[in-house]
Amino acid sequence: GLPSDKIELGRNCKIVTEVVQNGNDFTWTQRFPGGHTTTNTFTVGKEADMETFGGKKFKATVKIEDGKLVAEFPNYRHTAEISGGKLVEISTSSGVVYKRTSKKIA
């Protein structure tokens, strides 16, 4: 349902994701073009306050399923895993699936 120019912008957007893990504690930071940064800190199995790129705040409990980090809340599911040395994220909302694959840069 998005205009083709918006879809192309999303495909070409260079996002830098930094994931720091200390046991079950994670800090997940994403740096977007234009200087906007979003950071979410969570512990696997515990509810955490999070924020979307657009600034919307929500609560979610991140769990691990089949080696993937999984966050679910009404009408949305996000998974993240390391596969073949790359970060693979899949977001599903109202039947629409978005997949982003990121290479390791550092």
For residue 86, the domain's CATH number is: 2.40.128.20
Q: Which domain holds residue 16?
A: 4-101
Is 55 inside any structural domain? yes
CB 47 within 8 A of CB 36: no
Is 85 a domain residue? yes
Residue 106 lies in a domain: no
- The tens digit of pLDDT for each residue in 45-72 reads 999 999 887 788 889 999 999 999 999 8
Q: Is 75 inside a domain boundary?
A: yes
Residue type, 89: E
Alpha-carbon gap, residue 37 to 70, rounded angstroms: 21
- How many structural domains compose the chain? 1
pLDDT of residue 13: 75
**Residues 1-58 pLDDT 10s:** 667 876 776 677 788 899 999 999 999 999 988 888 999 999 999 999 998 877 888 8
**CB 102 within 8 Å of CB 87:** yes
